[in-house]
Chain A
Amino acid sequence: MSQSLSVPTSRQRTAAGQAAMSDRWFSILLVVPAMVVILVFALLPLAYALDVSFRFADLTRGRIGDFVGLDNYRTVLHDKAFWDSAWVTVKFTLSAVFLEMVLGIAIAFLIHGATVGKGVIRSLMILPLATSAAVTGLFWRYLYDTQFGLINYFLGLIGLPEPNWLGDYTIALWSVILFDVWQWTPFVALIALAGLQALPKEPFEAAELDGASTFRILRTLTFPMLKPVLFLVLVLRTIDSVRLYDAVAVLTRGGPGTVTETMTFYLYRTGLKLFRMDYASTMAIFFLYAMLVASLFALRPLLTQFSSRASEG
């Protein structure tokens, strides 16, 4: 990885000599404030978690206990609930992120073509983002209610079946996904829309003059140009979806049973209900490890792009 990302700084150094050295110090100084905060508050908890993951730690029974080697890792690896929650997380992330990206981009195209009222549309779209999941989730629970809820009331009016959104174990996860899609699709759409609006006009006019089909323009011009933006959104949305907690906590509390229990919710239950910080920390480390491995592959193009652009000019 380091090779592909390394930047040819030698050119600058030889060219500018003394000034490049000072550039280097300047650039490092700029990073210091942010790095101090991040290092202290990201590495200390990580060190704590690593330490605890090798010990016995039931917080309601005394302090952090004895060294137990890899016992916690073995326990977690053999914990069916852990793997179940991992599977729920994967299902949730794939479905929610896929829907949000597809719908978000589609909505962006829809609005991009609109001639009037874009400001109003944008303002309304930001609403779900401006409210906390803890509160809007509560109202979604109310909307989903089979007796008092608005959704089933309308479905009943037009004679459609009225599902038990959060109580039916076959669809509860989808109800959580629907809520997440509601909250985050506008985020994707707003960013994609801004991306569309920033596209230069000339290549498209030229393509139209050449008589290229809409599909061809999309494939060869629009999407390649939007790719960097969409990729960053995809990464951010994926990281957030994998860490999903609020929506589950307020909508289903992992239920019915454990059908909607995501990894972070299971972590919460283990760490802050059962107070087994040893297992919770071990799971967190597995979680981090999986994320890092996945992102080493997924983020490569993004990092390459950033690095190469940083070294331009």
Chain B
Amino acid sequence: MKSMLKQGLLVAALTASAAPAAMAAECADADRVPITWSTIAGFYTDAMASLVSGFEAGHCVKVNVINIDNSQLYNKQVIEMVGETGAYDVVTLETSEKAEFAENGFILPMTDYFADKQAQLDDVAPTLAALTTRYKGDVWGLPYYTYTAGYIYRADLFDDPVEQEAFKKRFDYDLAVPTTWAQHHDIAEFFTRKAGETLKGEALTKDFYGVGLMAGPFPEIQDEMSGVLWSQGADWLTDDGTVPVDAVEKAMNDYLELMKYAPPAALTVTYDGVMNQMKDGQIAQTYSFFLDQWPNAVQTENTVPGARMGVAEAPEKKAYIGGFLLAVSTSSAHPQEAMDFVAYIGGFLLAVSTSSAHPQEAMDFVAYIGGHDAQMEFARAGGTSTLMSVLSDPGFATPESRTKTGHFATLLEIFDSMKGFRSNLFDTPFGAKIYNTMQIPLQSAAAGQINAREAAERLASEVEKICGGPCPIGK
């Protein structure tokens, strides 16, 4: 994966500098309309950069990519929006931020733009599309990347006869991928061992833990807890816009139960820390984990002798679902080009009308890359696509592509299980602020400073404070 990462970066760097020169015949550099895309620093977006040149090839546009650390992306973008600087034409939003950006006029509705491109819109996994693209009846952007959560585990442990036998003896049922929280809890308890005890019949040199948790001071703790809460039929916000204290307390207590079987570092880490624990052979399973990390998790097979990774739906078939959304800033000086770009990166459009002077080349280009192919290329580089046609492509279901796209089939199952799912958290204009605050009471409880009840009550009062009363929910 490392060499792949380097390759991706190299491609990005090369194409970024080479593209304008190569296309000079069709479009003079001076004529190019500059648009700027603010996005998350890191591998996937770097891979996307190679697609940017694909877009530039077909449009007389120069795309500037600005990479921002994920934890700073939200406030940096809001400041530029509030200041109406027009510095970012295309922005990258988390699912919970969409309603806020739409409601406050930071991004442009794209309903009209997509009016004649319905088929392309329909290719986005419907479950995801419902949560990410729409707010109050309009289309606001396209998801180009999903981190929908599922269950990632050490399949080699589950297949070990010694462990299977011991598990059966202790819990009176077969060790298998859990489908309920109770089973999940049993497995976490079962695999938690001290150094010196045995695992798969071999003595452990360091402590081993049943589950990896993201209980650090980051928003991911609530993504993880969302799975528990949602599977219990509750949501972070009721339809009245308040926090259901009893339901949150129950989910919190279930989470605290699991904390007993997580490494102590759980209280300081987020997903990257959990991946490090996995790759270092410290944990047996994750709980409700971002599936886009699959190519990362699979590295465990290289670092831990005998390890084999597996991926499945989360227990109770409910887990955090969401993705990064591309949207067009209201203060953009070139909204049309920005929308074209969103559509292209989103994986759809290549009705390259701008190159009508060279229809043949444009068609060649469509044939060569195409909207669907853009996401295909992204997926081949290890990115997690949002398109049904890409996720279900048989080419990604082969054993050879397992290390990069082995999670695609699971994603399709999740999208199917969660069909029609909606969360009020994503439909309130205060979603982003709530999302950025909820970790605090939840983490206090995880650290043992307050109990589950207090955490739920504190969350309720924080949310009320943020919304100034019950939160408005706009479906």
A285 to B268, CA, bound (A): 33
CB distance from A142 to the nearest CB of B (A): 10
Judge whether B444 and A274 touch: CB under 8 Å. Answer: no
Q: Which of A34-42, A65-73, A251-259 faces chain B?
A: A251-259
Judge whether B266 and A275 touch: CB under 8 Å. Answer: no
Judge whether A164 and B264 touch: CB under 8 Å. Answer: yes
Which residues of A sit under 8 angstroms from B432, Cβ to Cβ? 60
Q: Which of B159-167, B250-258, B274-282, B378-386 faces chain A?
A: B274-282
Judge whether A169 and B436 touch: CB under 8 Å. Answer: no
Chain A to chain B: the 4 pairs with minimum beta-carbon distance, closest first: A257-B444, A255-B217, A167-B267, A256-B447
Judge whether B280 and A273 touch: CB under 8 Å. Answer: no
Binary per-residue interface labels of chain B (205-245) against chain A in the complex, 1 for a CB within 8 Å, 0 otherwise: 01000000000111000000000000000000000000000
Binary per-residue interface labels of chain B (417-440) against chain A in the complex, 1 for a CB within 8 Å, 0 otherwise: 000000000000000110011011
Which residues of A sit under 8 angstroms from B282, Cβ to Cβ? 147
Whether, in the assembled complex, B450 has its beta carbon less than 8 Å from a beta carbon of chain A, the answer is: yes
A164 to B259, CA, bound (A): 14
Whether, in the assembled complex, A145 has its beta carbon less than 8 Å from a beta carbon of chain B, the answer is: yes
A144 to B265, CA, bound (A): 10
Judge whether A60 and B82 touch: CB under 8 Å. Answer: yes
When the two chains form the complex, which single residue of A62, A164, A255, A275 contacts B78, counting CB atoms closer than 8 Å? A275
Judge whether A169 and B104 touch: CB under 8 Å. Answer: no
**Chain A residue with the shortest CB-CB distance to B277:** A147
CB distance from B380 to the nearest CB of A (A): 32
Interface size of B in residues (CB-CB distance below 8 Å): 37
A61 to B443, CA, bound (A): 28
Judge whether B104 and A256 touch: CB under 8 Å. Answer: no
**Chain B residue with the shortest CB-CB distance to A163:** B264
CB distance from A133 to the nearest CB of B (A): 16
Query: Among residues 232 to 273 in chain A, which have CB atoms less than 8 Å away from a CB atom of chain B?
Result: 252-259, 269, 272-273
Which of A61, A144, A145, A254 has the most C-beta atoms of chain B within 10 angstroms of its own C-beta? Answer: A145
The verdict on A146 contacting B448 (CB below 8 Å), with A59-B78, A255-B443, A275-B82 known, is no
Judge whether B78 and A148 touch: CB under 8 Å. Answer: no
Whether, in the assembled complex, A141 has its beta carbon less than 8 Å from a beta carbon of chain B, the answer is: yes
Number of A-B residue pairs having CB atoms within 8 Å of each other in the complex:
96
Interface size of A in residues (CB-CB distance below 8 Å): 28
When the two chains form the complex, which single residue of A61, A146, A168 contacts B447, counting CB atoms closer than 8 Å? A168
Which residues of A sit under 8 angstroms from B444, Cβ to Cβ? 169, 256-259
Which residues of A sit under 8 angstroms from B440, Cβ to Cβ? 254-255, 257-258
Judge whether A59 and B268 touch: CB under 8 Å. Answer: no
A307 to B447, CA, bound (A): 52
A147 to B282, CA, bound (A): 9
**Chain A residue with the shortest CB-CB distance to B445:** A257
Binary per-residue interface labels of chain B (64-104) against chain A in the complex, 1 for a CB within 8 Å, 0 otherwise: 00000000001100110010000000000000000010001
The verdict on A257 contacting B267 (CB below 8 Å), with A61-B104, A274-B466 known, is no
A167 to B444, CA, bound (A): 10
Binary per-residue interface labels of chain B (435-469) against chain A in the complex, 1 for a CB within 8 Å, 0 otherwise: 01101110110111110000000000000001000
Judge whether A164 and B265 touch: CB under 8 Å. Answer: yes
Binary per-residue interface labels of chain A (138-153) against chain B in the complex, 1 for a CB within 8 Å, 0 otherwise: 0001001111100000
The verdict on A257 contacting B268 (CB below 8 Å), with A61-B104, A273-B436, A274-B437 known, is no
CB distance from B470 to the nearest CB of A (A): 16
The verdict on A148 contacting B276 (CB below 8 Å), with A256-B447, A274-B437 known, is yes
